[in-house]
Every structure is written in structure tokens, then in C-alpha cells.
């Protein structure tokens, strides 16, 4: 089993953690919690780049190794990174689980090292008739993003941070 995690953040106060798991060549399960959003549906995508040097704007377009048009998660003709919408409750929080057959955590088209982005508006799933429907789902601004990391790497980084604090208790 392969596992990855993306920790989301933004200057607008949106935060969250998204977990990805995949067994063998099977589907990838995406489980997450995002808070600080307005209620309703929000576009949720894997973008091509893991570059967040300019916030979410430097993450590139939706991850699309097959060169297809934007679509719904259940569509065969869609960007691999098109994960549809997450639904945010009145409390500003979304808790969700998505099972997807087009994203992978291993191989040449792995999403590891790429960014996951939450958008400010609903994704029209390529069916809205807007000029951006077939490229972005007309999902609006990028309001939060984070990069996928191997879960084992994050555990190692956390261990190193704890070890440094343990060696120098005055560093806290």
C-alpha cells in the first residue's frame, strides 16, 4: 500500500489535510478535512506542478497527462486531476472521501510531488457552457493548496523536528 498526504493552507485562513492511499494498481482513495471555506461546493483538483512559490497560482493547470478535456470524476474523458467538488457545510468545513481510478500514487503519472488545490467556486464538471468549462470547470480562484508527499517522508521530518527539540529544550 502506498500512502501520501497533502497539508493545505492559504493566506485566507483555509486549512486542511488530505490523505491518499492506493493498493497495487487499484483505485486511489482520497480522504480529507478542509475548513475555513464558504458553504457549498468547491472545485477540488490535482494540479500539474508542486510549485507553491507564488502561492496556489504557481501550481500550473490541472494534472492532465493524457491531454483530455476537463470533466466530471465519473467521465472517462477528463483530466486525471479532475476530482469534482467537495461540499462544505454551514460550519465552513468539508469532510470527504473520494475513490478515483485515474490518479495514481506510483508510476510515471504519479501525483506525488504535485499540488492539490481547492477552488473558491463549484466545478461545473465541464458541462457549464462557460468558456472555461472544458479547461478548468470554471471553478474560480485557487483558495488553498498543498503538495503531495510520501507519508513516510512526513513521519521522518516530524521525527527530526522532535529530536532537535529534545536535544535543546530552550529552542521552544
Q: Annotated active-site positions, please?
A: 45, 47, 62, 70, 79, 82, 119, 142
Q: Round to whole Å and give the CA distance between 162 and 97.
A: 31
Q: What residues contact residue 159 under an 8 Å CB cut-off, 6+ apart?
A: none
Distance separating alpha carbons of residues 53 and 128, to the nearest angstrom:
31
| 22 vs 16: CA distance, rounded Å | 20
Classify residue 103 as left (phi > 0), alpha (psi -120 to 50) or beta.
Answer: beta
Q: Which helix (DSSP H) or strand (DSSP E) does residue 20 occupy?
A: strand 15-22
Amino acid at each position: 500500500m502506498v500512502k501520501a498526504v497533502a497539508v493545505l493552507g492559504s493566506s485566507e485562513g483555509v486549512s486542511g489535510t488530505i490523505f491518499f492511499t492506493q493498493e497495487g494498481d487499484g483505485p486511489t482513495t482520497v480522504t480529507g478535512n478542509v475548513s475555513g471555506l464558504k458553504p457549498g461546493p468547491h472545485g477540488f483538483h490535482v494540479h500539474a506542478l508542486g510549485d507553491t512559490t507564488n502561492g496556489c497560482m504557481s501550481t500550473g493547470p490541472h494534472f492532465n497527462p493524457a491531454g483530455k478535456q476537463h470533466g466530471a470524476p465519473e467521465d472517462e474523458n477528463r483530466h486525471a486531476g479532475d476530482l469534482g467538488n467537495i461540499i462544505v457545510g454551514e460550519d465552513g468545513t468539508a469532510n470527504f472521501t473520494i475513490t478515483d481510478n485515474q490518479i495514481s500514487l506510483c508510476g510515471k503519472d504519479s501525483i506525488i510531488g504535485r499540488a492539490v488545490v481547492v477552488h473558491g467556486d463549484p466545478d461545473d464538471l465541464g458541462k457549464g457552457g462557460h468558456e472555461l468549462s472544458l479547461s478548468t470547470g470554471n471553478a474560480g480562484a485557487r483558495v488553498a493548496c498543498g503538495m503531495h508527499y510520501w507519508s513516510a517522508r512526513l513521519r521522518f521530518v516530524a521525527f527530526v523536528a522532535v529530536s532537535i527539540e529534545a536535544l535543546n529544550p530552550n529552542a521552544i
